[in-house]
Structure 1
Amino acid sequence: MMKKQPKIGLIIIGDEIISGKRQDKHLVQANALLHPRGLQLNWVRLLGDEPEFLTQTLRESFAQEGVVFCFGGIGATPDDRTRQSAALALGLPIERHSQAVAEIEAQFGEDAYPQRIHMAEYPKGAVIIPNFYNRVPGFSIQNHHFMPGFPMMAKPMMEWVLDHYYVDYQQPPTIEKAIRLMNGQESEWVDFMQQFELTFPNLRLFSLPSISEEDKRTIELGVEGNESDVLKGYEALVAEAQRRKSEWLPVL
C-alpha cells in the first residue's frame, strides 16, 4: 500500500551558485528523478557556504517533517562546511565512518591521507550513500541526504536514496495538459479558476502568463494530476475558452 507522500525539499549549497559563477543543475535534475516516481518537490533553498547560516538553516530543516536532499559542501577543503554544519545543527559529534573510510581508501589508497579521508567524517549515527562515480560516499541522517555538488555524482546517488528508502511513497506519475490563451488577462479568469479548484480538488491548476518582446500576452492555463482527472479538467478548460469565444491553442 502506497504511503502519503512526504514534503520533499532541496538545499543547494555553494558560494559559486549564489554568486552566479555556476548555474544550478540540481533543481532540474531532481524534478526529473522525482516526477517519474509520482513524487513532487515542495520547496528549494539556495545557500552559500557561510557556516553559521548554513547551520541555522539545517537546524530549522531537521526540526520539520519531510525529506530533504542536500547538494554541495561535503568535500575536504576549508570552504566545504556542510558536514560540520549538519553535526552542529543536530548537536552531535562528528566522527569517521568506517564504511566511508573503507570506500575512500579503496579508491585512493595511500593518497586518501592526510586530506581526502576527512570526507569520511559525518555526524554520529549517519549512514553512507554510495557514490557510483568515485566511491567517496555521501551520508544520510534524519531523513536528510547529503550528496556532492557535482550533478553527475549526485544523480545516481539520489536515485539510490529514492529507491532504497522511499519506494513505498512512489506512485504512477502525474501528467499535464494545458491550453494557451492568446491576448488574455489572468484577472479575467480568477473567478473561473477558483470555481475550478472546488470542482476538481484532486487537480493542480496552474496559470503561467507570458509577455513577448512585441508586448503580446499569452496565458498557459493547465492542469496536473492523474490521467483520468486531467482529461476531465482539460475538457472543462477548453469548454470555458470556447464559451468565452477566447482565442486558444493546445499546448503540445
Structure 2
Amino acid sequence: MGFGLIVVGDEILSGRRQDKHFSKVVELLGARGLQLDWAEFAGDDPPRLTATLQRSFAGKDIVFSCGGIGATPDDHTRQCAAAALGLPLVLHPEGRRNIEERIRETAREAGREPDFDAPDNLQRLKMAEFPQGAELIPNPYNRIAGFTVGDHHFVPGFPVMAWPMIEWVLETRYAHLFHAEAHEERSLLVFEAAEAALTPLMEALQRDYPGVRVFSLPSVGDAQTRRHIELGVKGEPAQVTAAFAAMRSELERRGAEIGPV
C-alpha cells in the first residue's frame, strides 16, 4: 500500500493555474514519516478521468484526489468516481444538511429567510451527491464536504479547503501508519564524474543493502557551479548509515572528488 495523488483540472494542464497540491501533500506525508509514491494530473474530460479513476480504484493505494467536486458544468470528479465504481450518485443526507445550514447562514447574514427551492440553492445541493455508500470528509472552511470511497479521498481544488481536509483524513484514518517505517536520506556531491562510471557502484549498493534505494541527481553545471552528481541513499536508517559509509569509502578509494551537499 502506497500513497498517490491525483490533481484534476484543465486549468492546471493549460498552465492558467499552477499546482500547489503536490508539494503540500509531500510535506503533509513527510511530517508523519510517510512519503508520496506517485502523482498524476488529469483534465476535466469525463471519459479520461473515469478511466484514470478505474485504474486507481483497482489498486491498493491510499489516494487523494484534489479538484472537480463542485457543481458547475466543468466539475466531473463526483460523477466520474461513481462511473468508475459502477455506482449511482446519491444525495448524502448529512452532506445535504451541511449545505442547507450553509444556505441558512448566508440568508441570515443578508437579513432574509432562506429559500431552499431557489434554483441556485438546488444547484448547490448537487455538491452533496456522491457515489452510493461514500463517507464524508468535513470541510472546516465552509462545511461543504468532500467524500471518501474505500481508500480514495476526494477534496476540493482550493488549497484552503483541501489541505486541512487531507490532514483530517490522515489523522483520522491512517494514524497507525505514522512513522511505521523510519526513513532517512543521505547524499554527497561527486564532481566531474559520469553517471555511467558510477552505475556499478549504485547497483552494488542496492544489492548489498536491500533496505535502501540509491539515487543520483546530475547537474551539468553553470557559471556558478561545477558539473557534479548528487549521489545518495535513502531508506531504513541503520542500512542507510552503513550504505552511505560504504559508498563514501569506495568513492575515496577511487580517488573521486567529493563534497557535502
Cα shift at 1:205: 1.1
**Which residue matches 1:58?**
53
Report the alpha carbon displacement of residue 111 of structure 1 after superposing the two structures with TM.
7.3
Match of 1:181 in 2: 190
Q: Contact conserved, 2:5 with 2:38, CA < 8 A, in 1?
A: yes
Q: Secondary structure at the match of 1:122?
A: strand
Query: Tell me, which stretches of 5 or more residues in structure 2 are unaligned?
Result: 105-113
- Larger mean CA deviation between 206-215 and 132-141 belongs to 206-215
Q: Aligned equivalents of 1:173 and 1:202: distance in 2?
A: 11
1:35 aligns with 2:45: no
1:115 is paired with a residue of what secondary structure? Answer: helix
Gap regions ≥5 residues in structure 1: 1-5
Read off the aligned partner of 2:157 and give its amino acid letter.
G
> 1:114 deviation in Å?
2.4
Could you report, residue by residue, the CA deviation over 1:143-201 in whole angstroms, capped at 9, with x for unpaired residues?
Answer: 11000111221111111111211122222541211001111111001111111001111
Measure, in 2, the Cα distance between the counterparts of 1:228 and 1:17: 40
Give the whole-Å Cα distance in 1 for the aligned partners of 2:182 and 2:16: 34
Aligned residue number for residue 241 of structure 1: 251
Residue type of the partner of 2:54?
A: R
Aligned counterpart in structure 2 of residue 154 of structure 1, from 155, 162, 169: 162
Please give the per-residue CA displacement for 1:14-65, whole angstroms capped at 9, x wherever unaligned: 0001111111111111111112222222211100000111111111211122
Residue 210 of structure 1 is aligned with which of 212, 219, 225?
219
Return the letter of the residue paired with 1:96. L
- Partner SS, residue 37 of structure 2: strand
In terms of Rg, which structure is larger? 2
The CA deviation at 1:216 is 4.0
Shift of 1:231: 1.9
Contact preservation (8 Å) 1:35, 1:174: no
CA contact (8 A) 1:73 1:81 kept: yes
Deviating above 4 A after TM superposition, structure 1's stretches of 4 or more consecutive aligned residues are none
1:153 alignment partner AA: M
Tell me, yes or no, if structure 1 residue 226 matches structure 2 residue 226.
no
Deviation at 1:130, TM superposition (A): 0.7
Cα distance between partner residues in 2 of 1:199 and 1:49: 46
Q: Which residue of 1 aligns with 2:203?
A: 194
Match of 2:110 in 1: none
Identity %, equivalent residues: 46
What residue is the counterpart of 1:114 in the other structure?
122
* RMSD of Structure 2 on Structure 1 (CA): 1.6
Equivalent residue, structure 2, for 1:127:
135
Work out the number of aligned pairs and report it. 246
Residue of structure 2 aligned with 1:145, choices 153, 156, 176: 153
1:210 is aligned with what amino acid? Answer: S
What's the TM-score once normalised by structure 2's chain length? 0.89
